[in-house]
Amino acid sequence: MRKTLTLLLVLAFFAVRAQNDVTVCHTASTEKFAMFASNKDFNMEHPLPRVYVHKSLAGGQDITFKCADGTEGRGYLLKAAKPTNNWVFVFQEWWGLNDNIRRHSEELYNDLGNVNVLAIDMYDGKVATDRETAGRYMQEFKQERGATLVKGAIAFAGKNAHIGTVGWCFGGGQSLQAALNAGKQADACVIYYGMPVDDVNLLKTLNCDVLGLFAGKEKYINTDVVAKFQANMKAAGKNLTVKSYDAEHGFANPSNPMGNYNEAAAKDAYQQTLAFFKARLK
């Protein structure tokens, strides 16, 4: 009996050890996108950010906010002239929260009207000015930290906040991640050519409509990726509106209107964004 018990304990030990040694192969959507930073062609599709120093005409200011883990988050805040529970969270490109993102946040603030706009610094103060550094920052980014920052921003906005999210490239994926983290406070999500979440069960927890603005000519977030996202959102029972442009990745680049920038597509996508938010943040 003792030998049998010993054998069972040994077998149980090795079973647990084997279980712990299993490599989890599932890769989060943001990690998939970060892998593109190893692709020279992808990197070269991002023209260097233009040198620009933003001076706010609307009272925008850099702020910090508390996170649940005791750390601080950073952001660029534009407060509505009149108190409102409407918020738009803005998510940077792979460069970081630079002055071009501050400028575009202010454009959204001015054009949307009665709304608070918060650009969340997903790199904790780091800003890249060259492709190599931007790629490294994107690859070093941890989604767990991103979730902590977003939840801190949600707490800063308040429990009654109605939240819309928007981002480009790296920030496009973060826009969807933020909408998932916002739970019932999420009212609208806009993705500019970002990597979608492909976990249907996770998408089932989404509580808002999504507008996807994609580049029909790009090789990375390509038509197959978009089609899969559409199928997954349908399977999850969620509303997704997709607009695909005859353009390349980065067609609405806020940091530099060069390279793949497509003025007609960028202007139309921006009007789509404004209309989408105005219909849902009331």
pLDDT value at residue 203: 98
Lookup: tokens for 51: 């040198």
Where do runs of H (alpha helix) occur along the chain?
2-20, 29-35, 40-44, 99-112, 131-140, 143-157, 170-182, 200-203, 223-236, 263-280
The pLDDT of residue 47 is 86
pLDDT at 39 over 70: yes
In whole angstroms, what is the distance from residue 2 CA to residue 21 CA?
A: 29
Q: Looking at residue 9, what is its pLDDT? A: 40
Token pair of 132 as six digits: 């190599």
Q: Which CATH number fits domain 27-280: 2.40.340.10, 3.30.420.40, 3.40.50.720, 3.40.50.1820?
A: 3.40.50.1820
Q: What is the mean pLDDT of residues 108-126?
A: 98
Helix (H) or strand (E) holding 75: strand 72-78
Please enumerate in sequence order all residues whose Cβ is within 8 A of that of 171, keeping only pairs 6 or more positions apart, or say none: 90, 91, 92, 93, 122, 192, 194
Is the pTM of the predicted complex or chain greater than 0.85? yes
13 pLDDT band, cuts 50/70/90, is very low
Rounded to whole angstroms, the Cα distance separating 248 from 137 reads 23
Average pLDDT of span 183-191: 99
pLDDT recorded at residue 111 = 99
Burial class (CB in 10 A: 0-12, 13-18, 19+), 136: middle
C-alpha span between 79 and 22 (Å, rounded): 48
Q: How far is 232 from 28, CA to CA, in rounded Å?
A: 15
188's enclosing H/E stretch is strand 186-192
Query: What is the spatial distance between Cα 160 and Cα 175, in angstroms, rounded to a whole number?
Result: 20
3 Cβ neighbours under 8 A, 6+ residues apart: none
DSSP annotation string for 83-132: --SEEEEEE--TT-S-HHHHHHHHHHHHHH-S-EEEEE-TTTT---SSHH
Q: 18-27, 175-184, 192-201, 213-222 — which is least confidently predicted?
A: 18-27
Could you give the percent of the chain with pLDDT greater than 90? 79
Sign of CA dihedral 29, 176, 133, 224: positive
> In whole angstroms, what separates CA 58 from the centre of its chain?
25
What percentage of the chain exceeds 70 in pLDDT?
A: 90
Mean pLDDT of 240-263: 90
pLDDT, position 22:
29
The whole-number pLDDT of residue 35 equals: 86
Query: Cα separation of 220 and 36, whole Å?
Result: 8
